[in-house]
Structure 1
Amino acid sequence: MTPGSPRGDIIISIHPQHVANIVSRVKNHEFRSYLLPSTVKRLWIYETSPTSSIRFIATVSQGKRPGEIQDPSGLKNDEFDLGELESRAQFAYEIQKLEELPTAYSLDDLKRRGWLNGAPQKYCFVKPAMDEALKTTPLKLVFDSAVAVAVAAPQRKDEGKGRVCPLSRSGLLSSAGVKKSRKPQGKAGRKRTS
């Protein structure tokens, strides 16, 4: 594990359902009503009750305002961009990379080690003792948006939502996001089915 910059890592509470959506990449932004300090680069995700533990570390972007996401693929991105979440979310943080600790640290573990006094209500900075103890811990990469090669799928209208969502058939994208063309098959290249 690479240690974060001074005051670059925070522990932040997120509900387990939202964590599951982040892990599965259904949700690619974390929404907050407040702006995190500009030094923050990583979120140590404290999953709230009933999980009550830290298992994942997310590398995030700087805070975005409504209209700045412009990516309909993530859960609530369109609503945020349209300002429909303003009563509860004024800033969005893109989840650029997600890593998993080899062992989850329960709230009891965190308190016993002196790393937390209790579950974070908003967020708190990672204490130097926690950073020092975990800086050599190998992390499992869950995903990294910067190096991911996406497998795209044909698009269809999602019933009742008017949104575009992927189907399971494949159509490869290059790492630059450009669709690779397939060689057209002439009559000679087609298989006959009788």
Structure 2
Amino acid sequence: MATDILISIYPELMPKLESGIKNFEFRPFVINDDSITMWLYETKPTKLLNAVMNVKPAISVLSDNQHYGLGDNKFYEIINTGRVAYEITSFRWLDNPIDIKKIKTYYGLANAPQNFVYLQNYPKLLSDLKAQTQHQQSSLDF
């Protein structure tokens, strides 16, 4: 089974995700699935659903061959706040970002996600996003 979720990301983190320096995404929830796609809604001032990344299942300990691009000590500092880490395996920008107004009015989401939203609950949005990415080449696979 595959899980697609919508999460919010601060704009200042996007270049770090794109470059691969930020190679883990930390969240306060665990998604129990082997195939996880995180669709990224960039918060103020951008207010766009404009990128997607694939991640591995959640972990809380780095293996011997894993390192956090912003420092292993920082990894454990974040984990100690009660979060888990999802290793990012690919990141790509969407060719046709979706603004918050369309997300609310056309797709029916009340607000941008505070934690996360299962996109399976919004089949039209998920279908449109997947159709868009099928025509794109992955810009960054890590």
What TM-score do the two structures reach when normalised by structure 1?
0.63
Map of 1:9-24 to 2, 5 A cutoff?
9-24=4-19
Map of 1:77-156 to 2, 5 A cutoff?
77-80=72-75, 83-126=76-119, 127-137=122-132, 138-145=135-142
Question: Structure 1 residue 89: deviation in Å?
Answer: 4.7
Question: Structure 1 residue 62: deviation in Å?
Answer: 0.3
Question: Structure 1 residue 85: deviation in Å?
Answer: 2.1
Q: SS of the residue aligned with 1:21?
A: helix
One-letter code of the match for 1:106? D
Map of 1:177-192 to 2, 5 A cutoff?
none
Structure ID, larger Rg: 1
Please give the per-residue CA displacement for 1:51-83, whole angstroms capped at 9, x wherever unaligned. Answer: 111111100000011334753351244422xx3
Q: Is the 1:42–1:58 contact (alpha carbons within 8 Å) kept by the matching residues of 2?
A: yes
Distance 1:74 1:124, change over 3 A: same
In the TM superposition, structure 1's runs of 4+ consecutive aligned residues that sit over 6 Å from their partners are: none
One-letter code of the match for 1:142? S
Structure number having the greater helix percentage: 2
Distance 1:91 1:73 in 2: 13
Higher RCO (CA < 8 A, seq sep 6+): 2
For structure 1, the 5+ residue unaligned runs are: 146-194
Question: Structure 1 residue 87: deviation in Å?
Answer: 4.2
Q: Is the 1:9–1:44 contact (alpha carbons within 8 Å) kept by the matching residues of 2?
A: yes
Q: Is the 2:24–2:68 contact (alpha carbons within 8 Å) kept by the matching residues of 1?
A: no
- The sequence identity of aligned pairs, in percent, is 27
Whether 1:27 and 2:22 are equivalent positions in the alignment is: yes
Distance 2:72 2:13 in 1: 14
What TM-score do the two structures reach when normalised by structure 2?
0.83
